[in-house]
Amino acid sequence: MNVEEIKYGFADSEIMLLIFIFFISLGSITSYSGQENGFLVCFSSHLEHSNQTSKVLITRNSSDYSSLLRSSIRNARFLNTSTPKLPVFIVTPFHVSYVQSAVVCSKENDLQIRVRSGGHDYEGLSYVGEADVPFLMVDLFNLRSISVDIENESAWVESGSTLGELYYKIAEKSELYGFPAGSCSTVGVGGHISGGGFGTMLRKYGLAADNVIDAKMVDVNGKLLCRESMGEDLFWAIRGGGGASYGVILSWKLRLVPVPPAVTVFTVGHTLEQGASRLLQKWQTIGNELIEDLFIHAVLEVTEARCVRVSFLSLYLGEVQNLIPLMQESFPELGLMRENCSEMSWIQSVLYFAGFSIHDSLAVLLDRTTQFTGFSKAKSDYVKEPISEAGLAGLCKMLLEEATSYLILTPYGGKMSEISDTEIPFPHRIGNLYKIQYLVTWDVEDGTEQHIGWIRRLYEYMKPFVSKAPRAAYFNYRDLDLGRNNNGNTSFEQARIWGLKYFKKNFRRLVLVKTAVDPGNFFRNEQSIPVFPLK
């Protein structure tokens, strides 16, 4: 070796040149720590061509850093880029090899990894760190190819795709197939499925995670795995147990489900003064017992006139002529009329529940920008017994304290009661009448403490009326108030608090899988599955 090779510690002159060009393209690196510089050297050495660097790796010195970071932040609570716990680097892979390199080089240099698909993370854990450990974010938005196979009733979808893109691609091939996932078109497929994923067809077909056939992921060693090579335990864990605890999920093979040529939707709303309380009492007793083709959820909100309105929104997998007599028999109190209903294709119902006009072009589903730009905080509960009239009255009284508060009540039953609570990690099955999502939004940062304080008081008020031992919660409605920690290395006892709420008895098996496949707890965040503590 010559003097310069000894100085830089490289015997391979081509790699040295590559790294030199890499550093020149980044500008000064003096602001980075030793482990961060180590990652830069390691990651650049894995790139085949030096001109790929600026396309794949965005540093804090990059002019694109802020815009890219903000592009998929769906909650203004996490838009403050002066916060010290933002990613040191953003990796935007367009090939699996870059994900593998990011994992290997992060592990070698003791950097954490957080993975973002659509950014709809209620606590921002895919791109904001609370731990005193530098991390990089792998943003999967370039990995969003979708291959639909109608003949075999399946589709491969990359994790960076949105639900809107998935629905659009299915509709391109056939209007007689769909997929049972969420209503918000900008939600990323990766996180949605790995946490469970529900939508308007959950009573007919279960969750998105219930309909996964295969998956591809990069594990802690940088290996590319599929269902066969990862084994059934790990495959079980990533379908509802949070994929980010186990690796980087690159793509999912999904089972498409048949939908009829015509479906029917309706929205009927009443205020408390118009008898909404009585209707809600009845809905609590029949919402989970309706035929599985019929989904009716209830939304409680405060109107401009400062009263509580209860809206019943429905998807019926059939024609309106069959829905009317069904409703007259099961829920006559609602007084549903033919003029309240709209008959359409299933893909048009996707537009309807996403807040678009059913006459819009399906291309609106490809828009990855969200319409919501404010602040928000959410929580969740499960209800096993109807809430009393007095309990609902107290709830509505509290809602009137917050003009921009919402409650979304999602009925269970049907297919959700038929699937075992251990089939996948998602355990909230038979015995649940419905799930509640509590949500409050606001526009000014100064109101953050007040609004979060309110939703915490509401959550405390609801304690007597919801599930117990544990008081259950939905993993995709992530809530750091549950066994809160701030260090990313959660104690096992802290983790058990939220772990049992999200996963109940399945939490233990998730920990066993985690300990087996990632014993060093490399893939971790404030609410990742922990490893069993050392004796």
Q: Alpha-carbon distance 318 to 463, whole Å?
A: 38
pLDDT tens for 42-75 read: 998 887 655 667 789 999 889 999 999 999 999 9
Residues 101, 170: one domain? no
Range of the domain at 381: 263-341+372-465
pLDDT at 261: 98
Whether residue 522 is contained in a domain is answered as no
Is residue 28 predicted with pLDDT exceeding 70?
no
pLDDT at 485: 52
Last residue of a domain, one of 258, 280, 313: 258
pLDDT of residue 32: 76
What is each CA distance from 435 to 46, 439, 510, in whole angstroms? 46, 13, 23
Predicted confidence at residue 44, as pLDDT, reads 87
Q: Say if 286 falls within a structural domain.
A: yes
Q: Categorise residue 521: left if φ over 0, alpha if ψ from -120 to 50, beta otherwise.
A: left
Catalytic residue among 98, 434, 477, 502: 477
What is the value of pTM for the model shown?
0.92
Q: Provide the Cα torsion 239, 243, 247, 249; round to 10°.
A: 70
Residue 238 has pLDDT above 70, yes or no: yes
The pLDDT tens digits for 202-213 are 999 999 999 999
Instruction: Tell whether the model's pLDDT for residue 92 goes beyond 90.
Output: yes
Query: Same domain, yes or no, for 41 and 9?
Result: yes
User: How confident is the model at residue 13, as a pLDDT?
Assistant: 39
Average pLDDT over residues 283-311: 96
For residue 267, what is the domain's CATH number?
3.40.462.20
The pLDDT value given to residue 120: 93
Rounded average pLDDT over 120-127: 93
User: For residue range 410-430, what is the model confidence (pLDDT) as tens digits?
Assistant: 999 999 999 999 999 999 999
User: Which of 9-13, 296-300, 359-363, 403-407 bottoms out in mean pLDDT, i.e. has the lowest?
Assistant: 9-13
Is 152 a member of any domain?
Answer: yes
Q: Is 477 assigned a catalytic role?
A: yes
Question: What's the whole-number average pLDDT of the chain?
Answer: 91
pLDDT of residue 129: 85
354: confidence class by pLDDT, cuts 50, 70, 90: very high
Whether 534 is in a domain gets the answer no
Using an 8 Å Cβ cutoff, are 208 and 196 in contact? yes
Percent of the chain predicted with pLDDT > 90 = 82
pLDDT higher than 60, residue 121: yes
The total domain count for the chain is: 3
Token pair recorded at residue 190:
């990766």
Select from 239, 258, 277 the last residue of a domain: 258
> Does 226 share its domain with 199?
yes
Q: What is the CATH number of the domain that holds 42?
A: 3.30.43.10
Which residue, of 436, 465, 494, is where some domain finishes? Answer: 465
Compute CA distances 69 → 55, 59, 126, whole Å: 14, 11, 11
pLDDT in tens, 370-385: 777 899 999 999 999 9
Q: Is the pLDDT of residue 406 over 50?
A: yes
* 281 and 336 co-located in one domain: yes
Cα–chain center distance at 477:
8
Query: Which residue's entry shows tokens 């690159």?
Result: 250
Average pLDDT over residues 268-286: 96
Residue 306 inside a domain? The answer is yes
Q: Does an H or E element contain 264, and which?
A: strand 263-271
Query: Residue 133 — very low, low, confident or very high, per pLDDT cuts 50/70/90?
Result: confident
Beta-sheet pairing, 89-91 with 57-59: antiparallel
d(CA 474, CA 461): 19
Whether the pLDDT of residue 486 is over 90: the answer is no
Element spanning 490, H or E: none
Averaged pLDDT for residues 429-455: 96
Residues 380 and 443 in one domain: yes
Copy the structure tokens of residue 460.
């405390």
Question: Which of 478 and 29 is assigned the larger pLDDT?
Answer: 478
